[in-house]
Amino acid sequence: MAEEKKSAVEQRIDSAVYGTPKIKPDEQRKYLGTFRERVCLTISVAELQEQDWAAAVTAELAKGVGTLVFINGNLPHAEVHPYVKAATRAGAAFTMKTDPEFKTDPQALAVVVASKSAVYQSPVDVKKRYPQFGAGSATATTQRQTPTKGGFFHRLFHREGR
């Protein structure tokens, strides 16, 4: 029976039994719950594990086009924490996606910066969009070599010479 010919009651029953039908569910799974035309920047799990791309996310959010950050919450907290901080500093809304449908395979996406409406940007891959933050750049190596300073308790309990 075609959708147009179903009565309102039948459509309501189908919706209750099977759930609300999704538009492009595979695309939404790939892009952490959003549509491709809304995506401004993507970072795959493999790219995330290669280096810290938080500066690229900050640069993308500074443009003001993408104001939503979707983060794969199935990844370890230590890997996604810099992106949560970048989104918070930029005043962007971020969502941790922890549904089992969001995989942690190397080709799966770890971070997606998106807009509330269609922007049709290309390319969206972080390595193509921000090559200046890549592994060969001075900025990326400086970020890797800069020691992190601990908080109050870290300084209190980890003093030199103890």
Domain-embedded: residue 161? no
Q: Is the pLDDT of residue 146 over 60?
A: no
Domain-embedded: residue 150? no
Reported in sequence order, the residue ranges of 75-126 that DSSP labels E, i.e. its strands, are 93-97, 109-114
Domain-embedded: residue 113? yes
Domain-embedded: residue 151? no
**What is the number of structural domains in the chain?**
1
State how far the Cα of 29 lies from the Cα of 119, in Å rounded to an integer. 19
pLDDT in tens, 25-83: 888 889 999 999 999 999 999 999 999 999 999 999 999 999 999 999 999 999 999 99
Tokens 């907290």 belong to 77
Domain-embedded: residue 111? yes
pLDDT in tens, 100-134: 999 999 999 999 999 999 999 999 999 999 999 87
Domain-embedded: residue 154? no
Residues in the chain: 162
Query: Range of 56's domain?
Result: 26-122
Domain-embedded: residue 9? no
Range 47-69 burial, b when 16+ CB lie within 10 A, else e:
bbeebbbbbbbbbbbeeeebbbb
Instruction: Say whether pTM exceeds 0.75.
Output: no
Sheet holding 39-44, edge to edge: 39-44, 109-114, 68-72, 93-97
99, with CB counted inside 10 A (0-12, 13-18, 19+), is: exposed
CATH number reported for the structural domain that contains residue 58 in this entry: 3.30.1330.30
Q: Is the pLDDT of residue 2 over 80?
A: no
